[in-house]
Chains A and B, each alone.
Chain A
Amino acid sequence: MTMQTDMTHPAETVQHQPRRLPPSGHLAGISIRGWRLIWLLAGIAVALALPFLVKNFTVFQLTQALVYAIAILGLNLLTGFNGQFSLGHSAFYAIGAYTAAILMDRYDVPYWATLPPAGVICLAVGFLFGLPALRLEGLYLALATFALAVATPQLLKFTPIEEFTGGVQGIVIMKPDAPFGLPLSPDQWLYFFTLFVVAILFACAAGLIRSRTGRAMMAIRDNPIAAKSMGINTSLYKSLTFGVSALYTGVAGALGAIVVQFVAPDSFTFLLAITFLVGLVVGGVGSIPGAIFGGLFVLFMPNISESIAEDVKGLTWAIYGVLLILVIYVMPTGAAGLARLVAHRLVRRG
């Protein structure tokens, strides 16, 4: 009898479950739920005011951070809530980006109308990739998706589809202007457009997690065998989660293409998949607001590290690596976990 410490052993994965606050906790006379609402409203107010307070380029960067946040949320739905790994989400991001670019470039589809098809195509591709992935648990799935991420740039350069993809050159697309004569610069408009999409997608994700489906997803993460014996169709939910996760990342890809006005095969390398993973882990695995922090982090961290020391230019990825290891050591639940912990302490004291 071969006995092995299995990698998907239920007891191991449970630790990832976010720590919940006691529902009765009060801080400074306001309930935890009240505090959450206050933070949410404050966050929305800041998000709405920011583009009028900073330079156009910073607005552009913030938009990109939001785009990353959507992709990271997509990865989080898969990894954080369903316990499946993907090192290949750069591929879905690429599919979304190319869908948007091709629709806009060749078929003159307006930019906002490219998001649904990008999402639907990625949903289908993700679902189909998720089907064989069902048989691949844990590390094997990581390996298969790793292969997908590494192969993606080559697939995008494939000659027979060059007519559509533009080959190595990629596709350049136009930046949309603000509609209805709104007094906004194109960057500001795109920021608000992205923010709108972010709001919808994050609300949907929060709803999904709280629903019966979300509970099934988390049950599969925590103990697949128990989930199955409770009558949850694990294979269906797993491939569906893969599809939905790909949908989020695909929409992010489409938005990303519109924001940077350009797609080319070499923007979608394995490093992009690592970027998402960094955002996921730093923001907090299994936390929806954490994805926003993750998006901001991966976008601004390189700039910050380079401004601290000029010599470290080119060492960004090494710093990422060290940070990843540190986060895994000291706060495996990421920034979201840290925030929760701080709140917890404060509540106990108060």
Chain B
Amino acid sequence: MDLLLHQILAGLATGGIYACMALAVVMIYQAIDHFNFAQGEMAMFSTFIAWQLITWGMPYWAAFFLTIAISFAGGVLVERIVFKPIQNAPVLSHVVVFIALFSIFNSLAGFFWEFTIKVFPSPFPEWLHIGTFIGAHQTGMVLVTLVLLGLLYMFFRFTSVGLAMRAAAQNPESARLVGVRVGWMVALGWGMASAIGAVAGMMIAPVVFLEPNMMLGIILYGFAGAVVGGLNSPGGAVVGGFAVGVVENIAGTFIPYFGSELRLTIALILIVGVLMIRPSGLFGRRTVTRV
């Protein structure tokens, strides 16, 4: 029982990582109705920018916020330059362009910063840990995720831009008719997703170490979290992320081999399983399509 409790707590701690990433996935899905397969690589690239700034002597929090700003601008730029021209293209084109971005960011990061592992600092003070199970960084990470979720909730619920974004995502034609600039709302969605990804990357890097391939496994768990929670529910994505972390830890402890060797297979099973049994996830709305 003690072991189970311990594993659940540890799972929640790693779940914080996935929750962060799942939040970014859902953001972009809300804005453009697509998964961004390059999301993880974009987050990794942002984290490298932060690392570079810190290495140049910038204090952590200054680098943190500057990176968020750069990532936001980068996300908007990517949308304007790469995706706007093909917004009406078939879905295959989109998937191909996501994969193209994936390879570009991965390769560029390797080119600029090389494939050696780098240590990324944690900004959280020692006293933040909870008991002996959850370290200071994990606690901080969970707090940051929750704050982020709160901010997003308030943004979408109480600001007019947030309302316009929701309108643009749900019904672009009608939104345009009432004067919402749908194109810019999509760009804004990209910027926000990229910024959230940057936060996730900077939170994750102290745990997994910084290198160009660090995100591949994590983005998969991020997707799993988003799918479990429901792709159109930011809150669901966070819950999904935590749930996935717990499932991973418990399966890893109690099913032989799973923990060390088949971590990614758990994500695969979760994704396929949830998509088959309940495609809208735990908290998502079912989408109805008129044909």
> In the complex the two chains form, is A318's CB within 8 Å of B104's CB?
yes
Q: Contacting chain B: which of A114-122, A249-257, A320-328, A339-347?
A: A320-328
A332 pairs with B271, CB closer than 8 A:
no
For the complex, what is the distance from the CA of A328 to the CA of B267, rounded to whole Å? 31
Interface residue tally on A, bucketed by range: 35 or more
Q: Is A235 an interface residue (CB 8 A)?
A: no
A4-12, A31-39, A48-56: which lies at the B interface? A4-12
Which residues of B in the span 243-291 have a Cβ within 8 Å of any Cβ on A? 257, 261-265, 267-268, 271-272, 275-276, 279, 285, 287-291
A85 in contact with B95 given A4-B287, A147-B271 (CB within 8 Å): yes
> B81: nearest residue on chain A (CB-CB)?
A325
Q: Which residue of A lies closest to B261 (CB)?
A: A158
A160 to chain B: closest CB distance in Å? 7
Please name the residue on chain A nearest to B85 by beta carbon: A329
Q: How far is the CA of A143 from the CA of B276 in the complex (A)?
A: 13
* Contact in complex: B107, A321 (CB < 8 Å): yes
Task: Encode contact with B along A258-297: 1 for CB under 8 Å, 0 otherwise.
Answer: 0000000000001100100100010001000000000000
Known pairs A4-B289, A274-B103, A317-B107; A147 contacts B268 (CB<8 A): yes
Question: Does A138 reach chain B (CB closer than 8 Å)?
Answer: yes
Inter-chain contact total with CB atoms closer than 8 Å: 164
- Choose among B92, B288, B291 the residue that contacts A225 (Cβ–Cβ < 8 A): B291
- Docked-complex contact B111 and A315, CB < 8 angstroms: yes
A16 within 8 A of B: yes
State whether the Cβ of B186 lies closer than 8 Å to any Cβ in chain A.
Answer: no
Contact A5 B268 (CB under 8 A): no
> With A85-B95, A147-B267 in contact, is A316–B107 under 8 Å at CB?
yes
Known A150-B216, A155-B262; judge A16-B33 contact (CB<8 A). Answer: no
State how many angstroms separate the Cβ of B186 from the closest Cβ of chain A.
13
Closest to B106 in A: A317
Q: Min CB distance, B152 to chain A, in Å?
A: 22
Tell me whether A98 is interfacial, beta carbon within 8 Å. Answer: no
Nearest-neighbor residue (CB-CB) of A10 within chain B:
B291
Closest to A327 in B: B96
B138 CB → nearest A CB, Å: 24
A314 vs B106: C-alpha distance when bound (angstroms):
10
Given A154-B262, A155-B265, A316-B107, is A4 in contact with B82 using a C-beta cutoff of 8 Å? no
Q: Are B35 and A143 in contact (CB under 8 A)?
A: yes
Q: Which residues of A contact B275 (CB under 8 A)?
A: 132, 135-136, 140, 143-144
Q: Does A79 contact B (CB under 8 A)?
A: yes
* Residue A87 interfacial (CB < 8 Å): yes
Does A12 contact B100, Cβ atoms closer than 8 Å? no
Residue of A nearest to B286 (CB): A2
Chain A contacts of B265 at CB under 8 A? Answer: 151, 154-155
User: In this assembly, does A206 line the interface, its C-beta being within 8 Å of a C-beta of chain B?
Assistant: no
Instruction: Tell me which of B96, B271, B291 contacts A324 (CB under 8 A).
Output: B96
The 9 closest A-B pairs by CB, nearest first: A321-B104, A317-B107, A324-B100, A318-B107, A321-B100, A321-B103, A151-B264, A317-B103, A147-B268
Residues of B whose CB lies within 8 Å of any CB of A are: 33-35, 37, 82, 85-86, 88-93, 95-97, 99-104, 106-108, 110-111, 170-172, 216-217, 220, 223-224, 227, 257, 261-265, 267-268, 271-272, 275-276, 279, 285, 287-291
Q: Which residues of A contact B (CB under 8 A)?
A: 1-8, 12-13, 15-16, 79, 85, 87, 132, 135-136, 138-140, 142-144, 146-148, 150-151, 154-155, 157-160, 225, 270-271, 274, 277, 281, 285, 314-318, 320-325, 328-329, 332
